[in-house]
Amino acid sequence: MPQIKIFGVSNKLISIREKLSSTVHSCVMDALGMPEDKRAQRFIPVEKENFFMPKGRTDSYTIIEISMIEGRTSETKKRLIRLLFDRIQAQVGISHMDLEICISESPASNWGFRGMHGDEIKLSYEVNV
């Protein structure tokens, strides 16, 4: 399952954490076909004085990093990014300008979970979508 890290200015990120978590997971379910019970997110609040951001961004500036096993098509990954931009703006109120998304992929053999190597586990969801 994708591992998701969400960085933002502490006071802003903490105040929207629940809504943002639900919104992000709905996008992951719709774009990647992940089950409801496969949510793996970490919220990383950063004090404003330690969070340097590009000019023109506000305290809502948020970075979403998604790590996942390789295999999804470019179209699937683009759909996920588009859903994240649009739903987060509509449901959480973070503008497209204040949101950055990065997807990183690695081979299943680079993953380990449930005491096994990622390329040896039978997953309950499809990766090649």
Q: Average pLDDT, stretch 16-34?
A: 97
Superfamily of domain 3-120: Macrophage Migration Inhibitory Factor (3.30.429.10)
What are the boundaries of each domain within the chain?
3-120
Assign 24 a pLDDT band (cuts: 50, 70, 90).
very high
Assign 3 a pLDDT band (cuts: 50, 70, 90).
very high
What pLDDT is stored for residue 119 in this prediction? Answer: 79
Would you say residue 125 has pLDDT above 80? no
Q: What mean pLDDT, rounded, does the chain reach?
A: 94
State pLDDT tens for residues 46-92: 999 999 999 999 999 999 999 999 999 999 999 999 999 999 999 99
pTM of the model: 0.93
Question: Are 60 and 21 a contacting pair, CB within 8 Å?
Answer: no
Paired residues of 4 in beta bridges = 41, 66
What is the CB-side half-sphere exposure of residue 4 using CA atoms within 13 A? 23
Query: What span, in angstroms and rounded, lies between the C-alpha atoms of 77 and 90?
Result: 20
DSSP H or E segment with residue 11: helix 10-32
